[in-house]
Amino acid sequence: MTISMFQASVPVFIRHLNNLSGILDKGLAHANAKKIDESVFVNARLAPDMFPLSRQVQIACDAAKAGAARLAGVELPSFEDTENTFELLEERIAKTIKFLQTLSKEQIDDKEDHAIIYTQRGKESKFVGQQYLLDYVLPNLFFHITATYAILRNNGVDVGKKDFLGNF
């Protein structure tokens, strides 16, 4: 049995963004229960030179929407990076999922050898579809979701592996 480019991308992105939303829910619940201003968590970092939680969530969403848009050959939606509360971060995740749900199998399947070329931070990147998905988009998505998870875990939020993986 083979797996299609669509199966390996959009449903995976949606699943893990939903899991990320659940992790944020636990972060907010913990902040409320402990009477900690949520900005403490939203601005928390694992290390001084790492992005804060808010940016980790933004980048996770960007990885999913950019990856899917480039594979589908559609215009990449632009979201401003202004989220500074759990609620706003959740809204960004929801907007990203809504965009992903507009994409079809026909737009993404059979794009394994499709050229993906884009410029980011002044550097041109060149991939072919499957390499782009497997070697760049998925690891990037998982890295930033994991960083979000780790920031909250490091700050005492009761999250575990099941929260990252979600329900089966």
What is the predicted pLDDT for the residue at 53?
98
pLDDT tens readout for residues 49-97: 999 999 999 999 999 999 999 999 999 999 999 999 999 999 999 999 9
pLDDT at 1 > cutoff 80: no
Query: What's the number of domains the chain is made of?
Result: 1
Does a structural domain hold residue 3?
Answer: no
CA distance 12 to 6: 9
Residue 146: both structure tokens together: 């994991």
Does a structural domain hold residue 1?
Answer: no
Q: Looking at residues 9-30, what average pLDDT do you find?
A: 98
Q: Looking at residues 34-48, what average pLDDT do you find?
A: 97
Does a structural domain hold residue 126?
Answer: yes
Does a structural domain hold residue 5?
Answer: no
pLDDT at 168 > cutoff 90: no
Residue 35 CB contacts under 8 Å (≥ 6 apart), including other chains: none
Q: Which of 89, 104, 105, 95 is nearest to 3 (CA)?
A: 105
Q: Which of 1, 4, 11 is nearest to 141 (CA)?
A: 11
What is the predicted pLDDT for the residue at 167?
86
Residue 132 lies in domain: 10-165
Strand residues in the chain grouped as ranges (E) = 115-120, 123-128
Q: What CATH number is associated with residue 64?
A: 1.20.120.450
What is the predicted pLDDT for the residue at 2?
86
Residue 58: both structure tokens together: 């933004």
Longest dimension (CA), the chain: 52
What is the predicted pLDDT for the residue at 121?
87
The model scores a pTM over 0.85: yes
Q: Tell me whether strands 123-128 and 115-120 are parallel, antiparallel or unpaired.
A: antiparallel
pLDDT tens readout for residues 104-156: 999 999 999 999 998 888 999 999 999 999 999 999 999 999 999 999 999 99
What is the predicted pLDDT for the residue at 12?
98
